[in-house]
A and B are shown apart, each in its own frame.
Chain A
């Protein structure tokens, strides 16, 4: 009797193990009831849960975005490689991250995507705008993430592209390098939003030439070489070449933490004789240059400045350069900031509250997530959230930005699909973000006509 009982138990255990294995191989849905260890075949449960591999789990999120989770949902882990403490773009990076958290918190509050909530915090790493740190942190979080929701910076992102290619990891960049628009440069791994720095310069110069106090006589560009400043400068050079205006050259400089002061750039700007200077710098450096040029005794307004997205921070209105910035600086942005009129802006305000963020990072972090959301929804609809499958869905992916940007199609021909609209703003102490919109959705003739067939800078 005892021997018979043991054999029965063994048989039951083997059957149970087979059933569990079958359940594990056949379904990824933790909510599906485990098949009973009965010998008779039961009808297969209907399962609409997408298949997945890396960065997606059946278990609930460790840290669901904004603390919002849905019972029974699995988790999609998104990674962030940002500049959050010490780097030159930390003031922006902190709020970019916050914008992303709120964006995905809203998605979770709406039930998640395809039966999964989003976790954007567990694999957030501060890489301090350091290329080596960025590459190392990528290797650390890669085994656990589906997509990089943020890779901040041009050189830092370029440093991990080869690894991303091998791993089939897609990324939303925090930046607008023109190379992000081209498959040659990124193997289609980057989900860029808005224009590029190169187009930004052209659009800004188009606006200045048509609406500024005088037609542009000559142009100089100042920026960080090998970084976004190079792309900004190349856009300015291309605009000058197209419009037969002298381009006096690119004036390379560095962050104040490296070069100490912008006196050299100030001297070079004045010596260049340019009447408009396109800036591709950090905010503190922008304020020092604009302030010192204004204080150098040049005739008022003889040198005007055009800034790229990351050059502005409303805190500059507290600096000694504020009067100069108000008089001489014009900002070009890819989209309206937090206070804009679109449905996406209203959603930002619902998430953040009435007090506007202290810089444009929040809105940027939010907007950069729309392509990822569209991609995950497309993946869920196709029943496949594996990395390789998502990568295959990028080309032709339609992205709805809730009115913050015109609806856009990813991939394809950048010359056709890349957004070429900009928001032109002047400095205003009354506005929450320090910028007063002059025109939204501006399109420039030179930028529109530009044959966008390759990255402007390498």
Chain B
């Protein structure tokens, strides 16, 4: 238990961050049916802005985090208007490819902004630990769980209980019908991108709390959210949470026990665990744990 519990908490911590990133993918997919491959770049830019506000401008940490989310939401909305809106009506594959281009451009921008520095986000948790059930766990892991699940819950409530959420859901169900009912579909697209980018900024802050700080290459960590959305269901927020936590814990337990019990699998085998789960998930349930089964009449 002395090893197991902290390992599970670490897994839940990183898994909840994966879930947060995955929800960003899901929000855009539900609104536009496009998988947004630019999410990692939005994440690292969010981390950069958090660092800039908190370390550079001296804002209190919570204020800096919210400011970074707002800035990134703006960048997300502008990106949608400039790069994605002209593709409405085009094949979603084309739009997805454009998000790859957006990823490259924004990653380059992040690289230039971060430069040769290693950035920190000025978080209050550091490497401090706290007793949970008699075992010491890192505060940051608990913070990741609380903040990620809190933000995801807020998104869920917004989508289910508010008029904007209703309009977004209507847009995701049938854009033409929503348009006929007076929903500004274009605005819903922008809102989805803004919301997704804001969540990415929050995830970037959480990733940036690592002891080593953040570099431009840290963006690639966000790709772990891809197995999460596939396993959970690409249009399911609930699925993202369950799959994110599951994959995070599986990864962490593998990291802890595989070197001892299955060293023949080689070093860093935990890196492939999310993708093994992805393969198994696709074989068992191709549309994900909570995804909508898609039936095509041919």
CB <8 Å contact, B267 and A252: yes
A interface size (C-beta, 8 A): 50
CB <8 Å contact, A257 and B116: no
> Which B residue sits closest to A250, measured CB to CB?
B267
> Which B residue sits closest to A361, measured CB to CB?
B116
Cα A195 to Cα B277 in complex, Å, equals 45
Residue B164 is within 8 A (CB to CB) of chain A in the complex: no
Residue from the list A87, A261, A290, A292 in contact with B217, Cβ < 8 A: A87
Q: Which of A26-34, A205-213, A263-271, A346-354 contacts B (4 or more CB under 8 A)?
A: A263-271
CB <8 Å contact, A284 and B215: yes
Most buried by B among A253, A316, A361: A316
> Which B residue sits closest to A93, measured CB to CB?
B116
Say whether, besides A86-B216, A86-B217, A91-B215, A260 and B118 are in contact (CB < 8 Å). Answer: no
Most buried by A among B218, B220, B268: B268
CB <8 Å contact, A257 and B218: yes
> Which B residue sits closest to A128, measured CB to CB?
B217
Q: Chain B: interface residue count, which band?
A: 35 or more
- Quick one: CB contact mask for A243-280 with B, threshold 8 Å, 1 for yes? 00000000111111111111110011001000000000
CB <8 Å contact, B267 and A251: yes
**How far, in Å, is A5 (CB) from chain B's closest CB?**
64
Residue B138 is within 8 A (CB to CB) of chain A in the complex: yes
Q: Which of B58-66, B70-78, B107-115, B228-236 contacts A (4 or more CB under 8 A)?
A: B107-115
Cα A412 to Cα B234 in complex, Å, equals 62
Residue from the list A225, A284, A359, A361 in contact with B267, Cβ < 8 A: A225
Residue from the list A264, A295, A318, A324 in contact with B268, Cβ < 8 A: A264
Cα A255 to Cα B259 in complex, Å, equals 18
Residue from the list A313, A315, A320 in contact with B127, Cβ < 8 A: A320
Chain A interface helix/strand/loop/mixed: helix
Say whether, besides A251-B267, A260-B14, A318 and B213 are in contact (CB < 8 Å). Answer: yes
CB <8 Å contact, A295 and B259: no
Residue A328 is within 8 A (CB to CB) of chain B in the complex: no
CB <8 Å contact, A321 and B127: yes
- Quick one: CB contact mask for B262-284 with A, threshold 8 Å, 1 for yes? 00000110110000000000000
Residue A109 is within 8 A (CB to CB) of chain B in the complex: no
CB <8 Å contact, B268 and A291: no
Residue A332 is within 8 A (CB to CB) of chain B in the complex: no
Cα A283 to Cα B118 in complex, Å, equals 9
Contact residues, B126-178 vs A (CB, 8 A): 126-129, 136, 138
Contact residues, A83-137 vs B (CB, 8 A): 85-88, 90-92, 94-95
Most buried by A among B123, B211, B217, B224: B211
- Quick one: CB contact mask for A304-332 with B, threshold 8 Å, 1 for yes? 00000000010110111100100000000
CB <8 Å contact, B108 and A85: yes
Q: B127: which A residues are within 8 A, CB to CB? A: 291-292, 294-295, 320-321, 324
Residue from the list A90, A261, A264 in contact with B116, Cβ < 8 A: A90
Most buried by B among A88, A251, A320, A359: A320
Q: A88: which B residues are within 8 A, CB to CB? A: 215, 217
CB <8 Å contact, B211 and A263: no
CB <8 Å contact, A319 and B218: no
Residue A234 is within 8 A (CB to CB) of chain B in the complex: no
CB <8 Å contact, A320 and B211: yes
CB <8 Å contact, B138 and A316: no
Residue A285 is within 8 A (CB to CB) of chain B in the complex: yes
CB <8 Å contact, A285 and B212: yes
Cα A264 to Cα B255 in complex, Å, equals 5
Most buried by A among B118, B128, B251: B118
Cα A291 to Cα B138 in complex, Å, equals 12
Say whether, besides A225-B267, A318-B213, A94 and B115 are in contact (CB < 8 Å). Answer: yes
Q: A87: which B residues are within 8 A, CB to CB? A: 217
Residue A41 is within 8 A (CB to CB) of chain B in the complex: no
Say whether, besides A85-B108, A251-B267, A258-B271, A284 and B212 are in contact (CB < 8 Å). Answer: yes
Q: B30: which A residues are within 8 A, CB to CB? A: none
Residue A142 is within 8 A (CB to CB) of chain B in the complex: no
Cα A256 to Cα B220 in complex, Å, equals 9
CB <8 Å contact, B271 and A259: yes
Cα A307 to Cα B14 in complex, Å, equals 28
CB <8 Å contact, B217 and A287: no
CB <8 Å contact, B216 and A90: yes
CB <8 Å contact, B118 and A316: yes
CB <8 Å contact, B212 and A321: yes
Residue from the list A252, A256, A295, A297 in contact with B212, Cβ < 8 A: A256
**How far, in Å, is B256 (CB) from chain A's closest CB?**
6
In the complex, given contacts A263-B255, A291-B212, A319-B211, what are 10 additional A-B residue pairs having Cβ atoms less than 8 angstroms apart? Answer: A86-B111, A90-B116, A256-B210, A257-B220, A257-B221, A260-B14, A260-B271, A263-B256, A283-B118, A313-B118
Closest 8 A/B residue pairs (Cβ):
A284-B212, A320-B126, A291-B211, A91-B116, A257-B217, A288-B212, A315-B118, A295-B127
| 27 residue pairs from A and B, CB less than 8 Å apart | A85-B216, A86-B107, A92-B116, A94-B115, A256-B210, A256-B212, A257-B221, A258-B220, A260-B14, A260-B251, A283-B212, A284-B118, A284-B215, A288-B210, A291-B212, A292-B127, A292-B211, A295-B128, A295-B129, A295-B138, A316-B213, A319-B212, A320-B120, A320-B127, A320-B211, A358-B116, A359-B116
Residues of B that sit less than 8 Å from A by CB: 10, 14, 55, 107-108, 111-112, 115-120, 123, 125-129, 136, 138, 209-221, 224, 251-252, 255-256, 259-260, 267-268, 270-271
